[in-house]
Structure 1
Amino acid sequence: MMETLEGGELCFPQLLNTSCRKQMRPHSEAMLLYILLSSISLLTVALNLLVIISISHFRQLHTPTNLLLLSLAVSDFLAGLLMPVEILLVGSCWFLGDLMCALSFFAVFTIISASVGNMVLISVDRYVAICDPLCYPTKITQRRVKICVCLCWVCSAFYSSLIQKDFLGQPDRYNSCIGECVVVINNIAGAVELVLTFIVPITVIIVLYMRVFVVAVSQARAMRSHIVAVTLQRSVTVTAKKSERKAARTLGIVIVVFLMCFCPYYCVSLTAQDNMASASSETFVVSLVYVNSCLNPVIYAFFYPWFRKSIKLIVTLQILQSDSCQANIL
């Protein structure tokens, strides 16, 4: 009876001497985690898929800023697809093998790096749009944005493979038993990761948005003081500036939510003993990263009328019409 009980606590009961032990959770707690993570995963995939279809399909949305939002939505969509990995780890056992363990960590690192890079690009876009609006159309073109987005993803993948080079070459080198999925990053690589994917990007984002905030406030005060002459031409300019400030405010909220969800991940990674990132012990902070991927399209739905209109056209299948890509949704 004791042997059966002991075997039942193992990830692989047939491997009595080498199998990891399951982390025993109350049934109600485990079910709650499964339902919660599954719901967030499905919602994240569905909402970000709507963003991807909207920006890709409707011609009016093919702007440099929206291309950056599209790249962010792709990273969020992939995060939603990866979230079932966290569901598998609720029981603290890894059943997919060492290769899939390495690939899952590689994918997570790449997506996180790409998300951070997208946020930096969005901050730069809003900075130029608010602080140098006259030069914005010439500085921020669709071609340049596409190049920056591609470089962001390529550099993220290369950086992730570099950080985890040893782990990708020998995925089971840090496992103490069969059924464990663990990656260990040495102190030098951990310090480089902290600087390149957290300290430097967050500093750039905060500095740029502080500048954007100051300029936006000064512009609003100028308009309230009637410094801007009320002519048709100036009226169009003022309307454009209001639109840019609204976009800056909305994307500012996206970045604040991003910081709230990502800071715990990096704080835990920084303070983890021996700089060890165990998937089973970091489920909560990694789940926060996935929650951020779910919240971004929710923010768009609240603040972007074009997103609400495009959802309506998608859900009602009107996008299947031949001329739907020319629809006026702005």
Structure 2
Amino acid sequence: MDDLANDSAVRPLLSEARLIYAITVPLSTAIILANLVIILSISCNRQLYNTPNYFFLSLLVADLCTGVALPFIPWMGLNRPLSFSSCLLVHIFPNFLFLAFLFNLVIVHYERYMFIVSPLHYSSFWVHRRFPLALLAVWAPPLLYASLPAFGWNNRAGPGWNGCCSFNDTGAPGAPVNCSTVVTAGAAPVGSECCSYRRVFPNAFIYLEVYGLLAPAILSIAGMTGRVLWITRGQMKDICRLHRSVATRGGGQTSEREQRLNLRYTRCVAAVSLTFLACWVPYIIYTHVCVTFLLSKETRGNSTTHIVLSCTGIGSMAVMPLVLGLANRQYTDPVRKLLHKLRDRWRRRQDSEDMAL
């Protein structure tokens, strides 16, 4: 009977593990490889050694670390029998990497926003004059905030943490959710410590992170992007007006260049909108679903839904720097040249082999 109970307890966790790795491993591999390609491209091109690209390089490093931590992020919503120190580590470290990635994303958008808004004062911008301080500002605060549970802001003393599979059906705060029993050699689940995100992160910590850090960061990025598009629209209208006046004086009609500018701007707006929908909307949905689940009194959540939402939400956000990097020909030229050289070498080898035959 005990063996049957253990088998029935282990089987859900095994299915969850297969689902997590089936989604995250291909996505994580693609994110890591793409980031490495862009990082090497920037490192090999000395013309790209400037402050804007240094910030973007910092973002790529944070994105690379997020890709490495991606397979471990869905486990943060599942209960496991771990010691409290190990539980802190598996929750704090991925949270720090994700917050650092978000802060780097904000500073990159802010730097490019200032380049568009005030190009004449761009060289005297404080980010350029105090680059080490700005770089410290996007890595140190996420580390300090993510480490607060290790300094005592946690629910370690909360009830119900002895025995990972003991549910509190009353809906009290601190009750384990999505509990999965792990039966390993020499480790008994009954009476062992339960590792849950509710044990590491108090409700106030989660609310402050979501509505005090994540929401303002996303809104600021959306606001800066919208402002840049609005300024671009105004500049394009001025250019079109100038072309129209020149064409009128010359007795001609509206130039084709004006139509190309309108078409290019339309494509730009469409690309930005699609990027926002593909990269931000899944994460926003995942965040609000998690907060709604936290507020609900039901403790038994759908682990499959949580796994899919966490993987797609975090993964979609990690793709955004890759979209920005691959859209810049300066970052992809070294790789393109290398591929051309390999292709030419392969063709020459094939030609020599054909001539030998």
- TM-score, structure 1 normalization: 0.70
For 1:53, give the aligned amino acid: L
Contact 1:181 1:279 in 2 (8 A): no
Instruction: Provide closer, same or farther for how the CA distance between residues 50 and 254 of structure 1 changes in structure 2, counting only shifts above 3 A.
Output: farther
Residue 155 of structure 1 corresponds to 141
Partner Cα distance (2:218, 2:286) in 1: 14
Partner Cα distance (1:110, 1:78) in 2: 10
Of residues 211-220 and 48-57 in structure 1, the stretch that sits farther from structure 2 once superposed is 48-57
Partner Cα distance (1:35, 1:116) in 2: 25
How far the C-alpha of 1:56 sits from its partner, in A, is: 3.3
Residue 38 of structure 1 corresponds to 25
For 2:215, give the aligned amino acid: I
- Does structure 1 residue 186 correspond to structure 2 residue 185? no
Q: 1:105 aligns with which of 91, 104, 112?
A: 91
Question: For 1:124-169, what per-residue CA distance to the aligned partner results, in whole angstroms no more than 9, with x for missing partners?
Answer: 2122111111111221654534421221110000011125643679
Larger Cα Rg: Structure 1 or Structure 2? Answer: 2
Of residues 75-84 and 63-72 in structure 1, the stretch that sits farther from structure 2 once superposed is 63-72
Structure 1: segments with no counterpart, 5+ residues: 12-21, 231-244, 319-330
Residue 215 of structure 2 corresponds to 199
- Does structure 1 residue 209 correspond to structure 2 residue 208? no
How far the C-alpha of 1:61 sits from its partner, in A, is: 1.7
Partner Cα distance (1:174, 1:265) in 2: 27
Contact 1:67 1:145 in 2 (8 A): no
Partner Cα distance (2:159, 2:143) in 1: 22
Partner Cα distance (1:72, 1:51) in 2: 11
Residue 321 of structure 1 corresponds to none
Contact 1:65 1:125 in 2 (8 A): yes
Query: How many pairs were matched up?
Result: 289
Residue 3 of structure 1 corresponds to 2
Instruction: Provide closer, same or farther for how the CA distance between residues 211 and 159 of structure 1 changes in structure 2, counting only shifts above 3 A.
Output: same
Partner Cα distance (2:336, 2:35) in 1: 15
Look up the SS of the partner of 2:163 in the other structure: coil
Instruction: Provide closer, same or farther for how the CA distance between residues 203 and 272 of structure 1 changes in structure 2, counting only shifts above 3 A.
Output: same
Contact 1:182 1:279 in 2 (8 A): no
Partner Cα distance (1:30, 1:58) in 2: 41
Partner Cα distance (1:279, 1:115) in 2: 28
- Does structure 1 residue 284 correspond to structure 2 residue 308? yes
Partner Cα distance (1:176, 1:317) in 2: 62
Structure 2: segments with no counterpart, 5+ residues: 165-181, 183-193, 247-264, 343-357
**Percentage of pairs with the same residue:** 20
Instruction: Provide closer, same or farther for how the CA distance between residues 113 and 187 of structure 1 changes in structure 2, counting only shifts above 3 A.
Output: same
Of residues 36-45 and 135-144 in structure 1, the stretch that sits farther from structure 2 once superposed is 135-144
Instruction: Provide closer, same or farther for how the CA distance between residues 116 and 226 of structure 1 changes in structure 2, counting only shifts above 3 A.
Output: same
Instruction: Provide closer, same or farther for how the CA distance between residues 254 and 133 of structure 1 changes in structure 2, counting only shifts above 3 A.
Output: farther
- Does structure 1 residue 127 correspond to structure 2 residue 113? yes
Partner Cα distance (1:30, 1:279) in 2: 14
Residue 12 of structure 2 corresponds to 23
Partner Cα distance (1:174, 1:55) in 2: 51
Instruction: Provide closer, same or farther for how the CA distance between residues 155 and 87 of structure 1 changes in structure 2, counting only shifts above 3 A.
Output: closer
For 1:211, give the aligned amino acid: R
Look up the SS of the partner of 1:225 in the other structure: helix
- Does structure 1 residue 299 correspond to structure 2 residue 323? yes
Residue 280 of structure 2 corresponds to 259
- Does structure 1 residue 311 correspond to structure 2 residue 332? no
How far the C-alpha of 1:24 sits from its partner, in A, is: 6.0
How far the C-alpha of 1:299 sits from its partner, in A, is: 1.6
Contact 1:72 1:115 in 2 (8 A): yes
Contact 1:47 1:297 in 2 (8 A): no
- TM-score, structure 2 normalization: 0.66
Instruction: Provide closer, same or farther for how the CA distance between residues 270 and 93 of structure 1 changes in structure 2, counting only shifts above 3 A.
Output: closer
- Does structure 1 residue 136 correspond to structure 2 residue 122? yes
Residue 273 of structure 1 corresponds to 294
Question: For 1:97-116, what per-residue CA distance to the aligned partner results, in whole angstroms no more than 9, with x for missing partners?
Answer: 54333212112221222222
Question: For 1:299-323, what per-residue CA distance to the aligned partner results, in whole angstroms no more than 9, with x for missing partners?
Answer: 24652212222334677999xxxxx
Partner Cα distance (1:67, 1:203) in 2: 24
